[in-house]
């Protein structure tokens, strides 16, 4: 597939609106039903484990490979999904229904509380939300005997994470950097977070609705450390945001639809995710992703099997299938986020040698050292943070 053609299709997929995605999730769950289900693997009549006929996979938009001339990922339009079906006979019902962690969690909370099947066999929450699900006892523990590729090829940085010390519940899907997107044709290139508040950019700034990304970057701009957030540093960041909103410096806070504003030039700069900018650059070379001088944010979205999933065994097969370097490279060449699979860099050279040295996919250690992960806080503080940030989002529109 040509880079130009591929990128044009990817831009189309980014226009999915949050409301539509959430409605899609509800409709899909209604179709699947959420009645209770066994967590045992599907078995053949001989008592041996056998792959299920289908599994249900909930992911973020724009997060898996698709073919030329299509604008959505399905079992028929994605090479990696086709290969999985060819190997195991399992069709993947792939749904792009995650645009916000909290909103998606709201669609699965009730069945999880009731001990029922959520309708999903794999979901991909960001680490902080994934940890919440694990801590509540609502995630299935992996049977690693079914996952030799995962055990062998998980990148070292993900072993022993605080959210999952034994790598028993979470399999990283992609990681991402949060930094600045700057349209260097419309405005002077800047490398500090404070550049977002330049009066020349009034009404041309878009920020993310993910608290940890937007507040984290604003904290860095204020000289604070989001790895150790406090009410004081959080409140200072909220004040900065409120000032920018009340002055109409900020046009909008958005989920993944923020890219539409950058593409159309309705916004000239943003707090943005690295892979998004990398894709848009193919059609819009003037757009640049910048890790600010003060540093950027770093996060990981993880495959997780919800408690009570009907097809746990087959979900484990899919996770392990993805952890083959060749398959990971196919996905990575399309999504251009940070890959968690050892050996993918070598495999991706067979697709496009330039991608193996793309700093958005394989950032160097110096860049990684400048990235921050939002720190853990008490439940009371996090509830306070959520309440205050929600008020900010509602005040400007999302």
pLDDT in tens, 287-311: 999 999 999 999 999 999 999 999 9
Q: What is the CA radius of gyration of the chain?
A: 21
pLDDT of the residue at 53: 97
For residue 55, give every residue at least 6 positions away whose Cβ sits within 8 Å of its Cβ, in sequence order, or none.
90, 91, 92, 93, 121, 122, 311, 314, 315, 318
Beta 371-372 vs 296-303: how paired, if at all? parallel
What's 306's DSSP letter?
A: B
Binned at pLDDT 50, 70 and 90, residue 361 comes out as confident
Decide: 193 and 292 in contact? Cβ < 8 Å: yes
Taking the CA of residue 156 as centre, how many other CA atoms within 13 Å lie in the half-sphere pointing to its CB? 0
Looking at residue 36, what is its pLDDT? 39
- Using the predicted structure, report yes or no on whether residue 335 has a pLDDT greater than 50: yes
- Contact call for residues 266 and 25 (beta carbons, < 8 A): no
pLDDT band at 32 (very low <50, low <70, confident <90, very high): low
- Bridge partner residues of 59 (DSSP): 96
Mention every residue, 6+ apart, whose C-beta is less than 8 A from residue 48. Answer: none
What is the per-residue pLDDT across 249-277, written as a single tens digit (0 to 9) for each? 999 998 778 989 999 999 999 999 998 89
Q: Name which residue leads in pLDDT, 309 or 72.
A: 309
Residue 181, classed as helix, strand or coil, is strand
pLDDT at 4: 31
At residue 39 the predicted structure's pLDDT band, cuts being 50, 70 and 90, is very low
**Is the pLDDT assigned to residue 33 strictly greater than 60?**
no
Among 14-28, 78-92, 111-125, 326-340, name the one with the lowest average pLDDT. Answer: 14-28
- Could you tell me the pLDDT band of residue 281, with boundaries at 50, 70 and 90? confident
Report the pLDDT value the prediction gives residue 278, as an integer from 0 to 100.
Answer: 82
On whether the CB atoms of residues 349 and 78 are closer than 8 A, the answer is no
Cβ(114)–Cβ(76) below 8 Å: no
Instruction: Determine the Cα–Cα distance for residues 58 and 226; give it in Å rounded to an integer.
Output: 29
The mean pLDDT value of the chain amounts to 87
How long a stretch of residues is the chain? 398
Name, in order, each residue with C-beta under 8 angstroms of 34's C-beta and a sequence gap of 6 or more. Answer: 110, 111, 116, 117, 118, 119
Nearest CA among 9, 23, 31 for reference residue 78:
9
Residue 43 backbone dihedrals phi, psi, to 5 degrees: -125, 150
Does 338 have pLDDT greater than 60?
Answer: yes
Closest of 28, 43, 20 to residue 118, by C-alpha: 28
Q: What is the pLDDT confidence band of residue 108, given thresholds at 50, 70 and 90?
A: very high
Whether 9 shows a pLDDT value over 50: the answer reads: no
What are residue 122's DSSP bridge partners? 57
> What's the mean pLDDT in 360-375?
90
What is the DSSP secondary-structure string of 128-162?
HHHHHHHHTT-BPPP-GGG-HHHHHHB-GGGTTBT
Distance (Å, whole) CA 225 – CA 236: 12
Mean pLDDT of 356-366: 87
Write out the DSSP string of 219-276: HHHTT--TTS--HHHHHHHHHHHHHHHHTT-EEEEESTTHHHHHHTTS-SEEEEEHHH
* Residue from 310, 304, 321 nearest 53 by CA: 310
pLDDT at 48: 56
Show Cβ contacts of residue 256 under 8 Å, excluding neighbours closer than 6 positions. Answer: 14, 16, 18, 60, 61, 62, 99, 276
> In degrees, to the nearest 5, what angle opens at C-alpha 99 toward C-alphas 233 and 20?
135
For Cα atoms 380, 295, 223, give the angle at the middle one, nearest 5 degrees: 60
Task: Check residue 397 and give its pLDDT.
Answer: 55
**SS3 label, residue 49:** strand
pLDDT grade, residue 156 (50/70/90)? very high
């Amino acid at each position: 597939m040509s880079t130009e053609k591929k990128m044009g299709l990817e831009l189309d997929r980014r226009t999915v609106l949050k409301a539509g995605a959430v409605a899609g999730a509800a409709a899909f769950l209604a179709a699947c039903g959420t009645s209770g289900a066994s967590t045992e693997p599907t078995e053949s009549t001989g008592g041996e484990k056998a792959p299920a006929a289908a599994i249900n996979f909930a992911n973020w938009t724009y997060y898996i490979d698709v073919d030329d001339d299509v604008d959505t990922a399905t079992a028929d339009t994605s090479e990696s999904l086709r290969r999985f079906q060819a190997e195991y006979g399992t069709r993947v019902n792939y749904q792009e229904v995650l645009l916000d962690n909290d909103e998606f969690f709201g669609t699965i909370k009730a069945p999880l509380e009731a001990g029922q099947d959520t309708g999903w066999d794999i979901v991909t929450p960001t680490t902080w939300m994934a940890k919440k699900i694990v801590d509540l006892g609502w995630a299935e523990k992996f049977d690693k005997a079914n996952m030799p590729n995962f055990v062998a090829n998980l990148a070292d940085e993900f072993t022993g994470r605080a959210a999952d010390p034994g790598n028993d519940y979470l399999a990283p899907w992609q990681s991402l950097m949060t930094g600045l997107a700057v349209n260097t044709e419309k405005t002077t290139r800047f490398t500090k977070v404070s550049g977002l508040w330049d009066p020349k950019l009034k009404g041309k700034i878009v920020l993310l609705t993910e608290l940890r990304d937007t507040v984290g970057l604003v904290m860095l701009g204020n000289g604070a450390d989001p790895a150790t957030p406090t009410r004081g540093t959080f409140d200072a960041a909220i004040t900065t945001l409120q000032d920018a909103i009340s002055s109409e410096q900020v046009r909008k806070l958005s989920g993944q639809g923020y890219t539409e504003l950058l593409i159309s030039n309705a916004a000239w700069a943003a707090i943005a995710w690295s892979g998004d900018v990398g894709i848009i650059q193919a059609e819009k070379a003037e757009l640049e992703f910048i890790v600010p001088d003060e540093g950027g944010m770093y996060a990981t979205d993880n495959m997780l099997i919800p408690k009570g999933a009907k097809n746990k065994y087959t979900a484990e097969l899919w996770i392990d299938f993805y952890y083959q370097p060749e398959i990971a490279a196919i996905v990575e060449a399309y999504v251009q986020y940070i890959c968690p699979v050892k050996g993918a860099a070598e495999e991706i050279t067979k697709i496009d040698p330039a991608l193996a040295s793309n700093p958005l996919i394989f950032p160097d250690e110096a860049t990684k050292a400048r990235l921050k992960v939002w720190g853990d806080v008490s439940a009371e503080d996090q509830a306070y943070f959520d309440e205050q940030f929600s008020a900010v989002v509602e005040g400007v529109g999302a």
